[in-house]
Amino acid sequence: MGPKSALLLQGPVGPFFRRFADELQRHGAQVTKVNFNGGDALFFRGPEVISYRDPIDEWPARFRALVRERRVDAVFLVGDCRAIHKPIIPIAHEMGIAVWVFEEGYLRPDHITLERDGVNGNSSMPKDPDTYREEAANMGPAPKAERVGDTFVPFAIQSVLYACAHSVSAWRYPHYQHHRDIRPLGQGIAWARSAWRKKAYAVKEKGILERATGMWSGNYFLVPLQLHCDFQIVHSDYESIPAFIEEVLETFAKHGPSDTRLLIKHHPLDRAYRDYTELLRRHSERLGLVGRVHYIHDQHLPTLLKHARGVVTMNSTVGTSALYHQAPVKVMGRAIYNVPELTYQGSLSNFFCEIGSVDSELFRDFNRWMREHNQINGSFYKVRDGICPEREICKRLDSQESTGGDEGNDEVDESYPRLA
């Protein structure tokens, strides 16, 4: 059985949590939603809502009381590293409450992620390659994933609406601090800058893709960067993206074969906020890499991956795309796909020197396992006929057995439904 009393904390921007709550209620669950700012309130209204407006250090105690009061047996949220979520996860574990964490799809596009207890570096996904081989062998063929289509426009619209609602009603939530700067004026200026940079980079990088698929093919390492404010940085030993860049460049200068290059690809959503041109110029000159390091932006990623000798990433989901395109991957942080025999497990210096390969059968089994356990076809931001991730999630929860306990008691120790 699925949850009897579900508590929804902060979700993705947009109405996804509203649709999800409606589906939970159709499956017989009582739903409580906590809104922390005006953006949350814009997209989720109704009698199920509690607005939290007190200081953040009082939130864990309020959460504990809320779980008891509502006899909550499952918590759902997005962003297990957010300040409003991180402290309540161990409390939920202590109270025997299931915590389900949503995330953008590990398999992209057309998927969202839902795992129990944590995602990305906090994921409990196995690291034993034989687990994927053995379990996939007992699964039937994966159902075809339906295409959702382009989600950027609905995501952008919902993000702007969320930011505006957050800003105009900030006085109602005086203690709330968002995990990113989403002030509308600043964001408007940033995205105007992004549009200008996109055009400028297109001119500056003209001919790069032709060289990557021609004279450079098979002789460059692609380094996809992540957002400067990405929580994924927490799941690494780096304090920032520049620190990651510096280590990659220094290692490449010492160990990269002289006929190879680095193509460092900026994250498209970070174009508005960061420019590493000067940083890369300075380090390239210091390390004798001028002419061998290329800073790129809006080039076609699948094409770059097909022609790359290898991919070096902190823990970006580009890593799974690279494996799909048979590009060997070296992970420098903690990623769900950093599995022995799937990604390169040696040092970065050796990775630059060796001609690697990808076990395509293991990658197929790995994907099959995820499709069964934590990937749901669909999108947070776009509704399309025939694709209903909310319904699929509830079906998966309903298909699991759960033994009910003394709900609302601190000492609840019963097991709750898992996707796995």
In this predicted model, what pLDDT tens digit does every residue of 21-58 receive, in sequence order?
999 999 999 999 999 999 999 999 999 999 999 999 99
Of 342, 315, 419, 319, nearest in space to 376 by CA: 419
Burial label for 218, CB within 10 Å (0-12, 13-18, 19+), is exposed
Span of 31-45, 181-195, 327-341, 373-387 with lowest mean pLDDT: 181-195
- pLDDT, one tens digit per residue, over 318-329 is 999 999 999 999
Taken in order 291, 295, 299, 304, the sign of the CA dihedral is positive
Is pTM beyond 0.95? Reply is no
Position 412 scores a pLDDT of: 31
Cis check for the bond before 109: say yes or no (omega within 30 of 0): yes
Out of 3.30.70, 2.60.40, 3.40.50, 3.40.1440, the CATH code matching 206-366 is: 3.40.50
- On whether the 5-150+374-398 domain is CATH 3.40.50.20, my answer is yes
DSSP three-state, residue 294: strand
Q: CATH 3.40.50.20 residue ranges in the chain?
A: 5-150+374-398
Coil, helix or strand for 357? coil
pLDDT grade, residue 229 (50/70/90)? confident
Give the amino acid at 46. Answer: G
Give me the pLDDT at residue 180, please: 81
Question: What pLDDT does residue 29 have?
Answer: 96
159-163, 210-214, 246-250, 293-297: least confident range: 159-163
Q: How many CA atoms lie within 13 A of 296 on its CB side?
A: 25
Q: What angle do CA 214, 200, 313 make, to 5 degrees?
A: 55
Contact 417, 98 (CB under 8 A): yes
For residue 414, what pLDDT band results from cuts at 50, 70 and 90?
very low
